[in-house]
Amino acid sequence: MIATTHGDQEGWFSDDEFAEIRRKVPMLYVQAIPVQTDEFGQVTHIGLMMRANDDGNIVRSIVSGRVMYGEVIHAALLRHIENDLGPLTLPSLPQSAHPFTVTQYFPTPQPTGFVDERQHAVSLGYIVPIKGEVEPRKAALEFNWFEPKEIVTSKMFEEMDDSQGLVIYQALAHMGIFS
């Protein structure tokens, strides 16, 4: 699985061409919330990166990226995790393509409240336990583990990119974590 900016497996295209395509059809994305767990599978920590967004602001972010032509969802998940967090994370990818949430990003706050100014993107979300080492790289300037309660009680949701704070909120609710 070769990772590239805009080239998919059966055909490359230029930045201009991609800019055109992403204004014409919805883009398929995956997003992964990196977590650490105890022996019972319960989440003890959630991992967030720091990265610069398109406006040049430093924002916190989960792992997120496009599914390429010809790429299965699990390969896209693994590729984006390796791209951002390095090759030694030993992620436990899900057994099924069934996401814990489907997030619909639009260029405007309506109709869903999830905003991505660049495009209409539909992102399948997965919670991914990380057993190995994280070495943030490429776009990821930094990476930190937080206890769920640190995230809930802090302003961290507001520092996040592209409404991703709401996705973490959904993940916590899905896992029954409230404090």
Distance CA 178, CA 171 (A): 11
Between 120 and 137, name the residue whose CB sits nearer to a copy of itself. 120
Decide: is 13 part of the binding site for a copy of itself (CB under 8 A). yes
Confirm or reject binding of residue 136 to a copy of itself (CB under 8 A). Answer: no
**Which tokens hold the place of 10?**
């059966």
Contact, 113 vs 166, CB < 8 A? yes
Stretch that binds a copy of itself, among 48-56, 57-65, 73-81, 132-140 (CB under 8 A): 73-81
| Smallest gap from residue 17 Cβ to a copy of itself (A) | 8
Check the CA dihedral 73-74-78-79 and report its sign: negative
Decide whether 50 or 122 has the Cβ nearer to a copy of itself. Answer: 122
Q: Does 21 interact with a copy of itself (rule: CB under 8 A)?
A: yes
How far from the centroid of its chain's Cα atoms is residue 70's Cα? 20
Stretch that binds a copy of itself, among 9-17, 51-59, 133-141, 146-154 (CB under 8 A): 9-17
Q: Is 156 in the site for a copy of itself (CB under 8 A)?
A: no
Q: Dihedral of the CA atoms 91, 99, 123, 147 (nearest 10)?
A: -50
Candidates 22-30, 53-61, 132-140, 147-155: pick the segment binding a copy of itself (CB under 8 A). Answer: 22-30
Distance, in Å, from the CA atom of 163 to the CA atom of 179, rounded to the nearest integer, reads 20
What tokens appear for 51 in the block? 């990265």
Q: Which of 68, 86, 77, 76 is nearest to 135 (CA)?
A: 86
Site residues for a copy of itself per CB under 8 A: 8, 10-11, 13, 17, 21, 23-28, 35, 37, 39-43, 66-75, 78, 92-104, 106, 111-113, 120, 122, 124, 127, 129, 166, 169-170, 172-176, 178-179
